[in-house]
């Protein structure tokens, strides 16, 4: 059973989930509040950065590349609503910049 560790600002969360399930929906069901809006790769709000275990996720899809851009994808960013987990992974939810 994959183990997911998520850092959101100062908070650290960890949970186990069924292999192949949606990262976003599993997180929300455990009250790990990854921000989201559309759940369909349109808003980009559910952006997460993969710190470890990228090989344990589904491949980055065309819709993610369109929304995030190739540079962010190469830096390890994913859309949680498009990400399915098949093994252990560590993630960070980027905090919005304050200008
Ligand atoms: S929730 Fe909108 S892109 Fe994932």
Dist CA 80 CA 99 (whole Å): 25
- What integer pLDDT is reported at residue 99 of this predicted model? 59
**Gap between the Cα atoms of 85 and 90, Å rounded:** 11
pLDDT of residue 68: 96
Does some domain include residue 47? yes
Please list the rounded mean pLDDT of every run of 10 residues in the chain (99 residues): 95 96 97 95 96 98 96 97 98 79
Predicted local confidence at residue 98, as pLDDT? 58
Q: Is the CB of 39 under 6 A from ligand 1?
A: yes
N- to C-terminal Cα distance for the chain?
41
CATH for 43: 3.10.20.30
Nearest to 33 by CA among 9, 49, 16, 56: 9
Task: Tell me the backbone φ, ψ of residue 55, rounded to 5 degrees.
Answer: -70, -10
Q: Is the CB of 51 under 6 A from ligand 1?
A: no
Cα 36 to ligand 1 centroid, rounded to whole Å? 5
What is the distance in A from the centroid of ligand 1 to the CA of 24?
9
Structural domain containing residue 7: 3-93
Assigned domain for 71 exists? yes
98 within domain boundaries: no
Assess if residue 76 is contained within a domain.
yes
Q: Number of structural domains, the chain?
A: 1
Query: pLDDT at position 95, please?
Result: 82
């Amino acid at each position: 059973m994959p183990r997911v560790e998520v850092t959101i600002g100062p908070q650290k969360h960890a949970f186990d989930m069924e292999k192949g399930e949606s990262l976003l929906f599993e997180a929300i069901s455990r009250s790990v509040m990854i921000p989201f809006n559309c759940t369909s790769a349109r808003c980009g709000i559910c952006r997460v950065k993969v710190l470890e275990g990228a090989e344990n996720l589904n491949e980055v899809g065309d819709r993610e590349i369109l929304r995030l851009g190739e540079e962010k994808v190469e830096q390890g960013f994913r859309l949680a609503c498009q990400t399915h987990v098949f093994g252990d992974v560590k993630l960070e939810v980027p905090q919005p910049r304050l200008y």
